């Protein structure tokens, strides 16, 4: 029986054998704590029929634990130097497939169609590279993939922002964008000491359960996200000032004020005080006024 990858001794042995050096530009921090890996897998609630998509498998520490519980694991790895290492460490698991590709450029929907069964229970489980956490999460949600959800490790600061409620300092456009598609819950924090090399920031695991339909119904989804981003452009400004600044070329000030009042929102409020429902009303109201002035 091979020893688990995720121990300090085995990890160091593998790295030394292949003369592997960490690339800071790829945000490589490998987990060396089996208990934490098993808890991450627990949060994904996999069955023996589940399929898993992993991003950035590293030397296969999390991949191995996923393979022990899932029917199939497909992992995207951008660093070609890791491919021979993964071929060795994951040799006991023929139901794992490594795709040498940047997930941000990949057609994940097509990969799912080719690699998994139709209607199979699917989860994304990953220790995400910290420098591209947000783009990866947003790509996976915007691509409307047939997944049950995501369980991902990321910087605690980003996890705080994703799971934040209105009126808190962490609440912003990222909170709304993720909560529009999913129910977000931070499920554990992770100390720096369980990684090689140790990152400079604290980490956390967040579970995003995909909603059957978005949290609210809006007339124009793309415009809704534009309004949300514009509302947080400068946090100290009122929502009226942020919106007039963003739309100055296309929508008149009076129109913006009318739209805010029409949506029942005081123009002096700040973006961080608005709930997702209020943003939905505001977006629809602005969209209607905008269309009427065309």
Class of the CATH domain delimited by 8-210 = alpha beta
Look at strands 195-196 and 30-31 and give their pairing: antiparallel
The residue ranges of every structural domain in the chain are: 8-210, 221-292
The CA distance from 210 to 141, in Å, is 9
Predicted pLDDT of residue 265: 97
pLDDT digits 0-9 by tens, 106-115? 999 999 999 9
Instruction: Flag whether 167 is marked binding.
Output: no
Q: Which residues of the chain have pLDDT under 70?
A: 1-2, 25, 292-294
Instruction: Flag whether 260 is marked binding.
Output: no
The CA-based angle 141-23-78, given to 5 degrees, is 40
Instruction: Flag whether 56 is marked binding.
Output: yes
Kind plus residue range of the DSSP H or E element containing 92: none
Please answer whether residues 224 and 279 qualify as being in contact, where contact means their C-beta atoms are separated by less than 8 angstroms.
yes
Q: Is the pTM of this model over 0.85?
A: yes
Could you check whether the bond before residue 197 is cis, i.e. omega within 30 degrees of 0? yes
Q: Does 221-292 match 8-210 at the fold level?
A: no
Q: Which two tokens stand for residue 30?
A: 């490998």
Phi and psi of 60, rounded to 5°?
A: 100, 15
DSSP 155: E
Beta strands in the chain (DSSP E): 30-31, 51-55, 72-76, 96-99, 122-127, 149-155, 182-190, 195-196, 203-210
Q: Report the candidate in 284, 276, 254 with the shortest Cα–Cα distance to residue 267.
A: 254
Instruction: Flag whether 280 is marked binding.
Output: no
pLDDT digits 0-9 by tens, 66-90? 999 999 999 999 999 999 999 999 9
Instruction: Flag whether 31 is marked binding.
Output: yes
Q: Report the candidate in 78, 54, 221, 62 with the shortest Cα–Cα distance to residue 140.
A: 54
Instruction: Flag whether 183 is marked binding.
Output: no
CA distances 286 to 159, 171, 178, 263, Å, are 30, 22, 22, 9
> The tokens 């191995």 sit on which residue?
64
Q: Which two tokens stand for residue 41?
A: 């897998």
Phi and psi of 98, rounded to 5°?
A: -100, 130
CA distances 149 to 73, 97, 226, 270, Å, are 15, 20, 24, 31
Phi and psi of 103, rounded to 5°?
A: -60, -30
Predicted pLDDT of residue 293: 56
> For the domain 221-292, what is the CATH superfamily, name and number?
rRNA adenine dimethylase, C-terminal domain (1.10.8.100)
Q: Report the candidate in 187, 159, 186 with the shortest Cα–Cα distance to residue 175.
A: 159
Q: Which two tokens stand for residue 277?
A: 């429902």
The CA distance from 268 to 262, in Å, is 14
């Amino acid at each position: 029986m091979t020893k688990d990858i995720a121990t300090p001794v085995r990890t160091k042995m593998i790295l030394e054998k292949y003369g592997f050096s960490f690339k800071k530009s790829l945000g490589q921090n490998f987990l060396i704590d089996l208990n934490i890996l098993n808890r991450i897998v627990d949060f994904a609630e996999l069955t023996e029929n589940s399929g898993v998509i992993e991003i950035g498998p590293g030397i296969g520490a999390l991949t191995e634990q996923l393979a022990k519980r899932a029917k199939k694991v497909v992992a995207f790895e951008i660093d070609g130097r890791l491919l021979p290492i993964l071929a060795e460490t994951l040799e006991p698991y023929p139901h794992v497939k490594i795709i040498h590709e940047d997930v941000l450029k990949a057609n994940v929907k097509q990969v799912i169609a080719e690699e998994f069964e139709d209607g199979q229970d699917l989860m994304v489980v990953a220790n995400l590279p910290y420098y591209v956490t947000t783009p990866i999460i947003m790509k996976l949600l915007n691509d409307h993939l047939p997944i049950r959800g995501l369980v991902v490790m990321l910087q605690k600061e980003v996890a705080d922002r994703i799971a934040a409620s209105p009126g808190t300092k962490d609440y912003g456009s990222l909170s709304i964008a993720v909560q529009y598609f999913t129910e977000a819950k931070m499920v554990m924090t992770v100390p720096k000491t369980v990684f090689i090399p140790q990152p400079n920031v604290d980490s956390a695991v967040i579970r995003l359960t995909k909603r059957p339909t978005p949290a609210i119904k809006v007339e124009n989804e793309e415009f809704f996200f534009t309004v949300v981003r514009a509302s947080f452009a400068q946090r100290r400004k009122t929502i009226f000032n942020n919106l007039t600044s963003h739309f100055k070329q296309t929508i008149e000030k009076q129109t913006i004020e009318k739209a805010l009042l029409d949506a029942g929102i005081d123009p002096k409020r700040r973006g961080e005080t608005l709930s997702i429902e209020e943003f939905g009303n505001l977006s629809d109201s602005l969209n209607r006024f905008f269309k009427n002035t065309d």
